[in-house]
Structure 1
Amino acid sequence: MSIYLDYNASAPIDHRVLDYMIDVYKGAYGNADSRTHNFGDTSRKVVEKARADVAAILDIRKDEVFFTSGATESNNIVLQGLREYAEQTGKKHIITSSIEHKAILETAKYLQKEGFVVDFVNPDATGRISAKNVIRLVREDTLLVSIMHVNNETGIIQPVQEIGEYLNSKDVFFHVDATQSFGKLVDELKALKYDMLSMSAHKLAGPQGVGALILRKKRYKLPPVKNIMFGGPQEHGIRPGTIPVALVAGLGKACELAHAEYQENKKKCLSIKEIILQLLMDSGVKYHINGDINYSIPSTLNVCFDGVSSEALMLATKQYCGVSNGSACNSHSYAPSYVLVAMGLSEERIENSIRISWGAETDLNAVRVEFTNLLEYVRNIQ
């Protein structure tokens, strides 16, 4: 039976999260913004508990948490929501990286057409961008620096700590896309200095379709982010629309569980990573790890198998392992990974690379068996 190794696309929902959501669907069906009856009060209490759970895992205030449909929407709100402030102040310079999620890249490119100046910083072959290269681009009219914490294709941790420390004393907003690190690098995110942060529930065993935007207060004021949709005062006007109570509850529960279990989860993920690396070394196949493994998150590897097309490999071994060769949002495109291109890898190496990602509940024995089967296929055709 095939083992699922594409957690960076979407992690399976935790059964405890699902059970809690079912209870909420059954017992908290009122609109959380209804103020005239107990049904609204019940739903509102569920939402506020979830808000507290999200705040707790980041060690921030409840009123700095705003629910959205996920990190893509949160990223769009950050970049597009600062437009009015940018026009008022004349600060229309944005710094980001060339390996961000498309939710950042495409929005930044749209803003370029609207008169903004955007610098895209490339990584080196390690998969990391240089904090110095980001910092040296900061100027008087810089509005925003937006850098992801962990790259979704390579699992490489970016130098957001150094960038955050530098920007903390500057009149520049710092946004971190924490989609792949939220609930995993918990201590690192608690210590990080940032103004805005994006996340999605389905990357940490929560439900699809819900996430959060974190807006940190400075001198009791939120960043001047405006809503980019219209329709109501929900989430203090940042994100209009009826709050999906059960989805929000699932996000909160996933955060509660991750907060309690992240240290043990990290150990489990590292054990799986060690097994995969050992299987690779013992297999006799010709391979390369893309990116500096010393900076990779415990739950992700990006591997090139020499002379083996990733498309052919995924099709031929899908009865063993469910893997990918890049971001799910680009899976319908046969263009080479823009992340690996930005790292300066050869076209052949890019075409022969797959992403492997897993979670704490991934079965160790199944990994040994099924990944060995995949490697046997590679060995036979190399």
Structure 2
Amino acid sequence: MTYWDYNAAAPIRAEVATLLSRAFASSGYGNASSVHQEGRAARARLDAARAQVARVLGCEPKEVSFTGSGSEADALALVGAWHMRPQPERRRVVTSAVEHPALLGAVAQLEREGAYVVRVAPGPDGRVREADMLEALTPDAALCSLMWANNETGVLQPAREVALACRQRGVLFHTDAVQAAGKVPLSLREVDADLLSLSAHKFGGPPGVGVLMVRKSVDVRALTPGHQEGGRRGGTQNVPYAEALALALALADAELTETTARLTTLRDAFEREVTARLPGVHINGGAAPRVPNTSNLRFDGVEGEALLIALDLEGICVSSGAACASGTLTPSHVLRAMGLSPAQARGSLRFSMGPGTTEADVARVVDALVRHVPHVRALAG
């Protein structure tokens, strides 16, 4: 198996698997809200995990809230902050047209509740122009959300500059950093966000746990009422999963310099070989700054799903730029926003590498593409 779908889910790190195995095999089963010794022990573990995440982000531990996923963190950030915004007369929400579906779903909910939503389109390179975002930040803007890195193309967005502009204009700023974690330095000194979302399974933690960082000056209304997580998320905390997220994030951060350099080299070699050996191949987002592990390639005259299946039969796992909804193939909203036609979007595949990727993997995937692309093109006729 050659697994090149790290942007969908990264394999659980061995250290994290060991932590979870020990946690579930131990006798430590206290509720972190209980006052007896088992509860206090669980609370201490939860606090340690919170502090570990805060050290990586550069925030205070009390600003870290654990959630059930990155999608929940996005929804809590947008919907929760909207309902607690300090100036209710401000009703504009600014975001981009290339956000994750979870974020766009939360924005659509706000729109139904009376928000005026501006979805800023990217340029052909997949990057939203800073000037376009700033133009949309009119005096009636209450909330702005711009992802740090795109999940499909890997394109890095101008989150730092937009966050600064929001700070200057009194607009709450959220960034979905789910695809940035473990790929670029993840510091609030770099992107001065009021709210920031993470998801453990993108950097070697388990699925089912995420983080929303909320600055202490910001209020959010809980989606699930309760006293836990500072009143931001009701429900008994999953202490082992919080510990697992914190460990995975710390390990990814510690390895970042080496991982970034190695994956950049592998990605560039992959793209160079594929475009040299196959005609009609284009790199979606290739002209913009990107995270080091992601290549989104468009193959002229190819149905992406057919090529994906051909690769899968060889044990090569990648992702299509299209999703199947109600039996209908729907082109990627990200690629369509970049100006690609439906056919071009359907002819694109995402290749996302990770810490386990090797030079041999690159050679294997390139060889498979060189063999299969002409055949799939011929079938498309």
* TM-score over 0.5 (shorter chain): yes
Q: Which ranges of structure 1 fall in alignment gaps of 5 or more residues? A: none
The 5-angstrom pairing of residues 218-233 of structure 1 reads: 222-230=217-225, 232-233=226-227
The 5-angstrom pairing of residues 87-236 of structure 1 reads: 89-186=88-185, 189-217=188-216, 222-230=217-225, 232-236=226-230
Equivalent in 291, 299, 306 of residue 300 of structure 2: 306
Q: Could you tell me how far apart the structure 2 residues matched to 1:330 and 1:105 are?
A: 16
Q: Deviations over 1:70-125 (max 9, x none)?
A: 11111111111124334862121100011111111112112112111000100010
Q: Deviations over 1:46-78 (max 9, x none)?
A: 211211111111111111100001111111111
1:76 paired residue number: 75
Q: Could you tell me how far apart the structure 2 residues matched to 1:265 and 1:163 are?
A: 27
1:328 Cα deviation from its structure 2 partner: 7.2
3-state SS, counterpart of residue 150 of structure 1:
coil
Q: Could you tell me how far apart the structure 2 residues matched to 1:242 and 1:86 are?
A: 27
2:34 paired residue number: 34
2:265 paired residue number: 271
Is 1:288 the equivalent of 2:287?
no
Identity rate, percent: 36
1:338 paired residue number: 333
* 361-370 or 142-151, larger mean C-alpha shift: 361-370
Distance 1:278 1:83, change over 3 A: closer
Aligned partner letter, 2:166 = L
Q: Deviations over 1:156-208 (max 9, x none)?
A: 00011111121222211000000100232115654211110001000001110
3-state SS, counterpart of residue 356 of structure 2:
coil
Conserved in 2, the CA contact under 8 Å of 1:86 and 1:92?
no
1:15 Cα deviation from its structure 2 partner: 0.9
Q: Give the number of equivalent residue pairs.
A: 375
2:243 paired residue number: 249
Is 1:262 the equivalent of 2:261?
no
Is 1:377 the equivalent of 2:372?
yes
Q: Could you tell me how far apart the structure 1 residues matched to 2:108 and 2:257 are?
A: 38
Conserved in 2, the CA contact under 8 Å of 1:34 and 1:41?
yes
Q: Could you tell me how far apart the structure 2 residues matched to 1:65 and 1:330 are?
A: 35
Q: Could you tell me how far apart the structure 1 residues matched to 2:3 and 2:346 are?
A: 21
Distance 1:378 1:312, change over 3 A: same
Aligned partner letter, 1:103 = A
Conserved in 2, the CA contact under 8 Å of 1:266 and 1:360?
no
1:364 paired residue number: 359
3-state SS, counterpart of residue 350 of structure 2:
strand
Q: Could you tell me how far apart the structure 1 residues matched to 2:92 and 2:127 are?
A: 22
2:44 paired residue number: 45
- The normalised TM-score by structure 2 is 0.93
1:293 Cα deviation from its structure 2 partner: 4.0
* 117-126 or 46-55, larger mean C-alpha shift: 46-55
2:84 paired residue number: 85
Distance 1:226 1:332, change over 3 A: farther
- The normalised TM-score by structure 1 is 0.93
Distance 1:187 1:201, change over 3 A: closer
Aligned partner letter, 1:345 = L
3-state SS, counterpart of residue 50 of structure 2:
helix
